[in-house]
Amino acid sequence: MIRTNDLKKVYTTEEVETTALNSVNLEINQGEFVAIMGPSGCGKSTLLNVLGLLDSPSDGEYYFLDQEVSAFSERQRASLRKQNIGFVFQSFNLIDELTVYENVELPLLYLGVPSKERKKQVTEALDQMAITHRKDHFPQQLSGGQQQRVAVARAVVGRPQLLLADEPTGNLDSIHGDEVMKILAELHEKGTTIVIVTHAPQYADYGSRLIHLLDGHVVTENLKGVSNA
């Protein structure tokens, strides 16, 4: 599903040049659950943004679904992204002025899904996240755990092949964090490819593979406890 060759991302200002990703080579296969760990500032979120087509690399190759997409325009990236990728963020990123139902429905509106099918898919996503009873509430009326359930429902309502989660438990207590991780594990069991960035080793253990980043480099990979440094 994903392959990168010498992927680089450099941010340049008038005063300084910062290398966020430096010669990253990795492969992620369909159906994997991959966890990415590393200290703050090591490039984890930058990597996730590039993999999720929210940003483009400065150099190197990025193959997504057998297409080399590193030079895609924003419009091309957006088209490919909305058809194939769902996102879950630490800060939930829900729209306060929309109800739970409307927040989850929004990606389907962008995709042009007909009204009857939208209702079916939103209902299924809300049921899957056990949040249907809150469908007419607004985000600020929900607990953090409930907001993250809504965010996951929104991410999966379009049935994406790939789900990217950037510190999805970072703003949650351990009980709600565990709940969110169990939901992601269930989605993985049903065939969704998942890549998660996390600081928590207990949540990284949900993955079938663990990637460690340091200073923009992949320094080690572990497959179910077997080191491939």
Give residue 224's pLDDT band: very low, low, confident or very high (50, 70, 90).
low
Residue 225 has a pLDDT of 47
Instruction: Supply the pTM of this predicted model.
Output: 0.89
Measure CA of the first residue to CA of the last residue in the chain; give whole Å: 22
Number of CB atoms found within 10 A of residue 187's CB: 19
Residue 220 has a pLDDT of 86
Separation CA 122–CA 1 (nearest Å): 26
